[in-house]
Amino acid sequence: MRLWRLFGTLLLSAVLLSGCLYPKELRKENQMASGEYVMVVQNAIDQYKAKTGVLPIKNSTENTPIYEKYPVDFRKLQGPYLSSIPVNAFENGGTAAYVLVDVETKPAVKMMDIPSFQKTLDLQKAVDEYKIKSGGKLPLGEEISPGFYTIDYKILNRKAEETASMYSPAIKLPFIIQDSGQVWIDYAIEIMRLIDSKQLQNQLDGMQDLRVLLVQDSYFVPARSVAYQWKNGRPVPTAAHF
């Protein structure tokens, strides 16, 4: 858990050092161009791997969450493979961290939303401070699934918080807390929306990580998330590893 939080701190520091986050009026423009940016970076990575036999990624630890584990190292791409870093990349002062998924099979470029990541870290800090002051207690609300709860914001003396979804402009995503004290973004509503829209209910076996549906259907990975399984007709967060 400490390693994950260290990774989060390092990633956030990189954002702050590289420049201010893009203002809200530019985020829409960045999202519209996301596909073009991803394709350009994908092409550069494919060329790099074909020539070197390895992927241009930064180091991470074994315990780093899967969708944060393989950040693209633009320093290795600039020059012969990539003329410039995408304007929405955090290295260029933007709001997206470029990452790779499916690195063992067919490496694919995706993006992770930095503002959502940052908001989760801010809430995590408040939970950690409360835990210290309360002698180890956590602000647990209602149980969602074994080991996962809503957050009791009254205990934290804060208003309920949400973060913007990168999958649906009109949807706000809540935060949940694990009994370990780790704060996550709850993607259940987005996963359920996608399952309903594609009528996938009868194709789910309960033994897969449903986050892959979001990744396959979008240019974005679910930042600060845990795995979800299909149980009793709905996606629920789980501590299982896939």
> What is the DSSP code string of 177-216?
EETTS-EEE--HHHHHHHHHHHT-GGG--SSS-THHHHHH
Model pLDDT, residue 25: 38
**Confidence label for 241 from pLDDT (cuts 50, 70 and 90):** confident
**pTM, entire model:** 0.85
Model pLDDT, residue 34: 77
Model pLDDT, residue 169: 86
Percent of the chain with pLDDT over 70: 86
**pLDDT digit string (tens) for 166-186?**
999 899 999 999 999 999 999
The sign of the dihedral angle between the CA atoms of 183, 194, 29, 36 is positive
- CA distance linking residue 3 with residue 238, whole number of Å: 20
Q: Which of 18-32, 117-131, 155-169, 197-211 has the lowest mean pLDDT?
A: 18-32
Percent of the chain with pLDDT over 90: 81
Using an 8 Å Cβ cutoff, are 61 and 75 in contact?
no
Count of all residues that appear for the chain in the document: 242
**Other CB atoms closer than 10 Å to residue 201's CB: what's the count?**
11
What is the DSSP pairing of strand 108-113 with strand 96-101?
antiparallel
Using an 8 Å Cβ cutoff, are 117 and 8 in contact?
yes
**Confidence label for 205 from pLDDT (cuts 50, 70 and 90):** confident
**pLDDT digit string (tens) for 22-80?**
334 334 444 446 789 999 999 999 999 999 999 999 999 988 999 999 999 999 999 99
**pLDDT digit string (tens) for 143-152?**
999 999 999 9
